[in-house]
A and B are shown apart, each in its own frame.
Chain A
Amino acid sequence: MSDAVLDKQVKKPKTRKSKIDPEIGVELSWKTLKTQKQLIFMSVPIALYLIIFNYVPIWGWLMAFQNYRPAVSFGQQEWVGLQQFKFLFSDDTFLLVLRNTIAMSFINLVLGTVTAIGLALLLNEIKLKFFKRAVQSISYLPHFLSMVIAAGIVSTSLSIDGGIVNVVLMKLHLIQEPIMWLSEGKYFWGIIGASNVWKEVGWGTIIYLAAITSIDPSLYEAASIDGAKRFQKMRYITLPGIKATFVILLIMNIGHILDAGFELQYLLGNGLTVDYSQTIDIFVVKYGLAMGNYSLATAAGIFKTIVSVILVLIANNVAKRLGEERLL
């Protein structure tokens, strides 16, 4: 809210030539630097950290254009141009894993966001403190499980030999005999989506609940006086109140759309579902790292990074045009 106000204020002076940075709203000069020297000094270690760990390693991108061999000096590496990228995009498997990655990511993004907001809205309506806390704690506990354990729980629940999912469906007479969930490719994306909801919904809720608490209570009071019912208050106050948080999270998540995950797919996938279960990350491990083909792995990594950056910029731009909060 306050940012938007600030934006409008600084938009006017932007037209005339000035040294005032429109984004920061402070004059950039030696004088400002001097007055803020303590702050700047304190930020030096952070900047160094970023440079050393986030920028220097970009040097390694050069590997994607080589036929990289470990323990051979840089000058002696064989340069192959765009060969690794050509291999990637002509390989059937890569196109398949790209499809799987985007599909699963999209499912996770939509399901994850919708269920998290839904649960947050419901929790917010609960007036009984103890019950609310209990539900919240229980729902975010699975977040702390390691993926290996989570995958074990999922595959046990889906087992045909007494797995809870088959037992329940049989008892409800929805199916005649147990289904081998994990052996059919067509179920795989759904299983991944559902497992992620189970594991992450409580955790995702926390941030929305925090956003809801920051909504001014007087808005609700005013709405009550105007005769708004519970659902109307949700619809017209709570949801718009968390819109900014939602947009920011969405932008951040869109940047991760090519990170559909590794562990869960790796642990739940098998020979029968491989056409649906392999993601880019698994592809990189299998054909890049496991085969000592670091160049191919790097090329796939570069591809991921570039797509992610472009997606974030687009999302940010769209948000800006829609007059929403934005990240950059």
Chain B
Amino acid sequence: MHKTAKRSAKAAAAGVLALTLALTGCGSGNNTNTGGKNSATGGNASPAAAGDDTAPVTFSIFMNGPGQQPTPDNKILKQIKDKTGISFNMEFLVGDLQQKLGVMIAGGDYPDILSGDDKLINAKAYIPLEDLIEKYAPNLKKHYGDVWNQIKDESDGHIYVLPSYGVYQGKITEPTYQGPGFWLQKGVLEEMGYPTPKTLDEYFDIIAKYKEKHPEMIGFESLNFDWRVFPLQNPPEHLSGHPNDGAVVVDNNVAQIFADKDMSKTYYKKLNDINAQGLMDKEAFVQNYDQYLAKVASGKVIGMFDQHWNFQDGEKSLISQGKLENTYIGFPLLYPGAEEWYRDRGAVGTNRGFGISINAKDPVRIIKFWDKMITEDWQKTLQWGVKGEDYEVNADGSFYRTPEQRNNAEQTSWQVANKISGMFGYMPKIQGTYSDGNAADAGTQPQEFFDSLKPYDQKILKAYNKKSWSEFFKEPKENNIYFPAYSIVLKDGSPAQLAQSKLNDLMIKYLPKAIMASPAEFEGVWQDYVDRIHKLDIKAYEDRMNEGIQQRIEKWSVK
């Protein structure tokens, strides 16, 4: 008895010892690891500097969104490996991003390449890239030439992340429209004789008439959930002819909030009216995002204001059910006298893309790789695919796809073996058109787009005498230099940020109240709402926005 006790005590001691060893082992493991990395940097630096190096190397990449791993024998990855010697160890986000970042930052355990994130920038996880680009990457330098000042981090003026989207060349051909608009079902338009509403009255008139004939339909839908509040909050700025600058409108480089202005009151009064007519969905403001998508996917929603990408998952489900007549076309409604600015030239996505981490084995090799990838030949391979396999070329040099190639491109199983969409989404890329006039990818090639549409969609477009969905909107004007104002950074915990957050809370709470109120009560609710807004420190918020706008005008103006 006594002996066994002793033995178990020894066993326990051994256990504790093992645990301690494991813990310290972890620590020292890390050390050797960094040591290894250091020596790798030292070893590789000289040949890389000497010229184009094609020695096999693997870079680890972390991407801050979920995605699908390409297959091991992926066609494009194989080509990259053959020509540059580089292969990748990709890690897509699984689970919660903030948690993952927290662990990464706490441990200083970064892969070679990191997708852009403000938190990582604050933690100084990236190396500055501007010198590397000047020295080793002429193509990248050319690519980012016009936005060179814009892509610098606002706080310290270094370039940490190479933006993946928003740098255009040639013509912007964008057949599918992803932005804001007042949407109507194609089937509704077909039945009503293909009208083109231009004002709120015309728009709701169509909805009212259609709903009269089809009472089971939902008239007008909206969403007021979590951060997806723009379907409710943004319409006034678009109706009054402003681009999407977030919670402010900017006139003559001066920003002000519009939530308490007449341009807002007019719109919400109108919604209050249509609610009284029974056209507004009663559940619009209590539903969550999934319920919203489910309603869109049910095909029962006649129309809504939203940005297209926000309800696209619902529409995808309609498409897969073959209910094309329930998908949507957007219209740019305006107040009388306002000039349209719904479509905008996507602003360059500063700090969204790839950066090189401070732990990277060979930054020069990485920047040279991206430099090579931004050349037109490689871009065609990355975006269109391999000529003769994934796309064909006409006699006049324009690219197109056969029906079989189109069909392939829609299959996920084909994509993971033949595309690297997951990683490419974060890489520097050409948008617009190549120097030979072809669009950057198959989705934006106008004729290719029209041909790939289903007959029903082609019929609708023909009825409107248009070639693509974005033609329902005017060509975007040149962006203001500071655009978009919503990306101006409000310092964490600052009065400006607090005011913005409280303003948002008031909108979330009072706008539904005002819309659901009986028409007689609307004035009272609106007055209460405006009074409460005026109690906030709105000035702090507007001042910070104007300061940001002035800074951008000063810093970003090129030449």
Contact = CB atoms under 8 A, between A and B. Distances in A.
B12 A296 contact: no
Contacts of A71: 105, 122-124
A159 interface: yes
B41 interface: no
Category for how many chain B residues contact A: 35 or more
B290 A296 contact: no
A293 B512 contact: no
B438 interface: no
Interface stretch (A9-17, A132-140, A230-238, A269-277): A269-277
B372 interface: no
Given A160-B283, A291-B492, A155 B291 contact: yes
Contacts of B290: 152
Interface in B5-42: 5-6, 8-9, 12-13, 15-16, 19
Interface in B489-517: 492-493, 497-498, 501, 505, 508-509, 511-513, 516
A38 B13 CA distance: 9
Contacts of A295: 493
Nearest to A84: B493
A30 interface: no
Contacts of A42: 9, 12
B508 A274 contact: yes
Contacts of B141: none
A323 interface: no
A300 to B, nearest CB: 14
* B19, B286, B513, most chain A CB atoms within 10 A: B286
A274 B509 contact: yes
A180 interface: yes
B305 to A, nearest CB: 17
A67 B511 CA distance: 34
B520 to A, nearest CB: 19
B34 to A, nearest CB: 19
A13 B508 CA distance: 66
A50 B286 CA distance: 43
A183 interface: yes
B492 to A, nearest CB: 3
A180 B19 contact: no
A24 interface: no
Interface string A166-199: 0000000000000010110000000000000000
Contacts of B286: 155, 180, 182-183, 270, 272
Interface in B184-231: 224-225
A161 B501 contact: no
B512 A41 contact: no
B450 interface: no
B296 to A, nearest CB: 15
B8 to A, nearest CB: 7
B9 A41 contact: yes
Given A38-B9, A70-B123, A180-B283, A271 B511 contact: yes
Nearest to B8: A38
Nearest to B497: A291
Contact of A292 (B16, B124, B493, B516): B493
A111 interface: no
Contacts of B509: 271-272, 274-275
A221 B492 CA distance: 69
A161 B288 CA distance: 15
Nearest to A290: B501
Nearest to B281: A161
A296 B493 CA distance: 9
A166 B298 CA distance: 21
* B123, B285, B511, B513, most chain A CB atoms within 10 A: B285
B288 A267 contact: yes
Given A38-B8, A155-B286, A272-B285, 10 more contacts: A41-B9, A42-B9, A70-B123, A71-B122, A155-B287, A161-B283, A183-B512, A270-B225, A274-B505, A292-B493
20 contacts: A37-B9, A38-B6, A38-B12, A42-B9, A69-B492, A70-B105, A155-B287, A159-B283, A161-B283, A180-B286, A183-B285, A270-B225, A271-B285, A271-B511, A272-B516, A274-B508, A275-B509, A291-B492, A291-B493, A291-B498
